[in-house]
Structures are given as structure tokens and as C-alpha cells.
Amino acid sequence: MASHRRPKQPGRTRATVLTATAAAAVALSANSAVADPEPTKRSVKAKVDKLREDAAAATEKYNGAKEKADKLQKDVDRLQDSVARGQGELNDLRNGLGSMATAQYRSGGIDPSMQLLLSADPDDYLSRASTLDQLSLKQLGSLKKIQGKQRQLEQQRDAAADKLKDLAKTRKELGDHKKKVQGKLAEAQKLLNKLTAEERAEMRAEEERASRAAGERVEMGNEGTASGRAASAYEAAKTRVGMPYAWGAEGPNSFDCSGLTSWAYRQAGISIPRTSQAQANAGMRINSMSDLKVGDLVILRTDLGHVGFYAGNGQMLHAPKPGAQVRYESIARSGMPFMWGVRI
């Protein structure tokens, strides 16, 4: 006879265990899906390199704002000095006019006809009358000079006020660019801090090896030199190989990219603009890398944010980025697109 007993239900304890196990499995799966993987040395290096390159490009914008601020400050100083000198000249003119007015008053506030009647010597009166006429002409001339000087001072004061407004705006831009540079570098350091001390040491050693290898003399190929002055500037830059990159620095013992090129040209007795963006338009443009000559400037990045010297054989001599040194490097391997060359 078939049994009609109901199937045995699982115990409450067993069900609870199964439910808890399932929940734990789901939680573990969810956590593994959202947890950040441990950063590898390679991935950190790639991100740090990118941040440092961005910091180097931001440095060029900082340099541009600093150059503008320095120029504005000189303009303001010159205008304020001119206003101070002009105010002194105006005061002298006013004092002179006052002295003439006093002398005229003392010489006679009497009607000319009465002066003639009272004068014992008509010739003396005529002489005095002539002097009074001359004083009046001097007064008129002084008044015109005073009016002209006042207008000039007002224009100079207005110009100085406008320059001061521009200066305040530029200094704010300068501060913003500085914060951006420092922010990029701080972010890079934060990433580096996620690595172990051993991994950081390995990365430093790799960078030092790269700098030493890149610092060696490159094969220049068959390219000629751009010009005598470009050759002189390039020779000066070669003496800085191994010097550290420092943002905003223009030598002689540390450099950013445009700091190196502008410093080198100064050693050749030539002044070129301070920033890579301005240097990109400082001479004859060379559109093809095949037409470059040693000593030409090499402009990289779509924002024209990097510059170096062409060293021949597809190489450049440059100050690459924070954490690196002045060195030779393949343009193609720099990771920055070639825009054009500039022949000074």
C-alpha cells in the first residue's frame, strides 16, 4: 500500500545556513565587481607620465601669463613714474605762474592812464608797460602749458589704471595656471604613493637609466645645421644635458622646455619669446620633419605646448617633463605629435 506521508521539510537551521551562504556569495561577487584592482607599476607609470606631460603643457601657459604680468608691471611702473615727474613739472608751472601774477600785482594794479599821469618819467613808464605786456604773454604761455600737462597727466593716469586692471586679471590667470600645474603634479604623486617603496625605487632607476641613455651623443645623420646662430644656441643647449626639469625654470641649472630653448638662444646673443606657443611663430615655419636641420626648434602637441631643438636623425634635445632631465629623445617615441619646426 502506497504511503501518504508528506515529504519531510528542511530544518529551519539548514535553510538559514543556505540563505546566508547565498547572500555572502552575492556580496562577494558584487564587491569583486566594484573593487579597484591593485595598481600595477606599468599602469601607474603611464598615468604619471601623462599627468607630468599635462603639467609641462600647463607650465607653458603659466610662463605666458608670467611674461605678460612682468611686461604689464613694467608698463605700470613706467607710467606711474612718468605721472610723478609730470606732477612735479605741473607744480613748477603753477608756482611760476603764481610768481608772475604776484610780480604783476606789485608792479601796478593801477590803471595805465593814471600811471602815465603819476609817472615822473614817461620813458620809465613805457618801459614798465612793455614789461607788463611781456609778463602777460608769459602767463598765457604758462597757462597753455599747464592745461596741456594736466591733459597729459589725466591720460597717463587712465592708462596706468587700465594696465593695473589687466595686471590684476593676468595675476589671477597666473595663479590659476600655477594651481593647475601643482594639481597635476600632486595627482601624479598620489598615484606613485599607491606603489610599494620597492616599485617606486624601480621606477626612479628606470627613469635615471633612460636619462643616461638618452643623454649620450646621438647619430646626427646627414642633416646640415640650420644657421650659425641656431648652431650656437644648440651647442649651448648641449651643455645642459643632464640638468633637471623644473616648471617655470629658465636656467642655468634647471629648465622647463621653453626655458631651455630661450636660455640657449640668449647664450647665442639672440632674444626669442619665452613660451613654446610664442616660439612656434618666432621664425620660418618648417612643415615637414624631412626638411628639418640641426638647431631648428621642434614644436610638439596640438596645443603647441612643447618645444625642443632638432638634433638630427629624428632626434630632439629637450627638457621633457617633471621628473626627467634635459636629454636627447626620439621625436616619434616622445608620445607627442609633431606640429612643425621653426628656423630662427
For helices 257-267 and 41-107, angle between their N-to-C axes, nearest 10 degrees: 60
Do residues 295 and 304 lie in contact, with contact meaning Cβ atoms separated by under 8 Å? no
Q: What is the dihedral of CA 119, 123, 128, 134, to 10 degrees?
A: 150
Give the C-alpha separation, 17 to 8, whole Å. 18
Do residues 254 and 243 lie in contact, with contact meaning Cβ atoms separated by under 8 Å? yes
Residue 128 contacts by C-beta under 8 Å, 6 or more apart in sequence? 107, 108, 115
Residue 132 contacts by C-beta under 8 Å, 6 or more apart in sequence? 104, 107, 108
Residue 318 β-bridge partners? 327
Measured over the CA atoms of residue 8, residue 13, residue 15 and residue 21, the dihedral's sign is: negative
Length of the chain: 344
Phi-psi region of 316 (alpha: psi -120 to 50; beta: other; left: phi over 0): beta
CA 133 to mean position of chain CA atoms = 61
Q: What is the DSSP string of 16-50?
A: HHHHHHHHHHHHHHHHHHHSPPPPPHHHHHHHHHH
Give the C-alpha separation, 115 to 121, whole Å. 10
Catalytic center residues = 257, 306, 318
